[in-house]
Amino acid sequence: MINVIISHPNGQRQEVLLAGVPRKGEHVRLSRSEVSGPSLVVEHILWVEGYGNSREPSVVIAVRPHAEGPP
C-alpha cells in the first residue's frame, strides 16, 4: 500500500492508501468519497521527493469525476 494525496477539482485534498500509483486516465474508486462520488479519473500525477525528516516520496494525483456516457 502507498499513501497518496488526491487533489479534487474543488481544491480539497484527501489522503488515501492505494495498492499502487494509478496512471493518467485510469479510474480510481474510493469507498468513502464524499467529495466527487465513488468514480474518479486521474488527470495528473506528481511525485515529490522526501524532504525534512521524511525520506519517502509523496504522490499527489489530480482527479476529476468520471462522466457517464459519451462526451
Q: Are 14 and 59 in contact (CB under 8 A)?
A: no
Q: Choose among 19, 26, 11: nearest CA to 66.
A: 26
pLDDT per position as a tens digit, 12-61 = 998 888 888 899 999 988 776 555 456 889 999 998 887 666 677 789 99
For the entire predicted model, the pTM comes to 0.72
